[in-house]
Structure 1
Amino acid sequence: MATPNETPVSELSYEEARDELISVVSELEQGSATLEQSLAFWERGEALAQRCEEWLVGARARLDAARTAGLGDDANSGDNQ
């Protein structure tokens, strides 16, 4: 029986959080953990899911900003012709 990782969730990359979340879900699906262990896994899983969401929201914001900047560049390039 594995135990939840002790690394602070806020320090994990998207890939690390995603991979650990997959492991947590697997542990919970096995159903062999005690109630206390299951609660610890559940809490860790919730935090990991939130961390993944933060990374995805941040990535979406960066993409949107890059697209907006690209559209601005396209509009400005037409002024020089």
Structure 2
Amino acid sequence: MSTLTAERLRADVAAALDCPPAEVDAEADLQDLGLDSLRVMGLVEKWRGAGASDLEFADLAEDPRLVAWNARLVRS
């Protein structure tokens, strides 16, 4: 079972980008904000450990916006 929340995703992405969570625009292309493939792989591993066991790099690379990642990973 995944323990991922929208807040955790935003905080993890912000940490990967070394910025405050409030600066991560959910609609922005995270690659444009500096999130490279190595950081995305780190997020994949972190989020697999939090219960998103079927998550693959391609799932995140397909649409590199936080809003898309929330739709894919956060269960309401």
- Give the TM-score taking structure 2 as reference length: 0.31
Q: Which has the higher helix share?
A: 1
Q: Which has the larger radius of gyration?
A: 1
